[in-house]
Structure 1
Amino acid sequence: MVVLRITLAYDIAKEAHKGQKRRGGEPYIKHPWRVMNIVSRVSDEEDLKIAALLHDTIEDSDMTCSKINSLFGTKVADIVEYLSDDEEIARLPRSERKARQAQKYASAPVDVQLIKMADQIDNMTSILNDFHVLPEKFRSEYPAAAFDVVIACRPASEMLFTEASDIYRQIKALEAGVTPPSI
């Protein structure tokens, strides 16, 4: 049953992100898969793994919270809905959007914080890996804003917070022209 639900969630995420690419050029579906794997390192809870896979589907497709609820239950639907930016926040410039997210996630349930922190870890890892091919403005602004969100989510996992801190330090080292040790 567990594998079937996770496989269904993956298939839905794959369809929702069909044709989408990350800034570094890779297929978008790799992002929610990695977020789920990060979450899996600190939780065995199936609903959290499913929500991690689906965390961007409402924003990036015609998937609805109602449909997620009917397929996976209220807990998954509530987490995914919480992780989805509403239209007002989505229209803000990135720096303002991330500042609002940091405020929002500071008081979020721990399950939500855990997935959001995993999301930011993967985003910052992608920046670290693709640093030299990303626009300078993006790679200099996004990590600090993402790390503010990580700080807000710190109650969810000290281990993931430490990992995010290490990645952020490596990005800052690259910005300063220093080659950091690999993660």
Structure 2
Amino acid sequence: MRKSLATLALLALAGCGSELPPNTYDLPAEEVFQRLVAGDLEEFKRARKCSIPIMFQQQAVLGKSVSWQVLGDGGQLARFGVELVPTENGASEVKIDIPSHPQGGEIHDGDKFVPYPALRQPLRPAVEELVASKVQQRPYNAQAVPRSPDDSVCDVQRGSAESGVDFRTSRSSNRGSGMADEVSDDWGE
């Protein structure tokens, strides 16, 4: 009996040291892919959108990658995606792809002022939480995502929307602001 308990304790301790790296899931890439493409992004949209009416368009390469375009105001406002990389032990690493900003860093990284944001900043941790919630098949947890101090424009837009003001902008007014220009149409697809 003591030997059995000691063996179980050792097995439990052995399992503690085998934590997976961040953005890696103990599932085959095909299963992670199925979970990522299943369902919609309504919880994410509700938590992250500013006030510009947006929708998401999903594109997928079977078992390899999933990307989402953020569409609104007559065109693409942002995009993000993931690439699935099988690991040697049968798990799957999820590499997040967020386009670069012309001034350095990534779009919506929280380090740059965005005059017409489609989504709250920063985007990367929000996408990490989106992936985790879909893969773990649980609700999106907006409180798990840090807020950017540079998100005041989004806060104003959301406040306006709550008071009944429909905030819209024309794509032409986005030109030169860094918003529409920061996402080109040729992102390697």
TM-score of the superposition, structure 2-length normalised?
0.28
The structure that is strand-richer by fraction is 2
Q: TM-score, normalised by structure 1?
A: 0.29
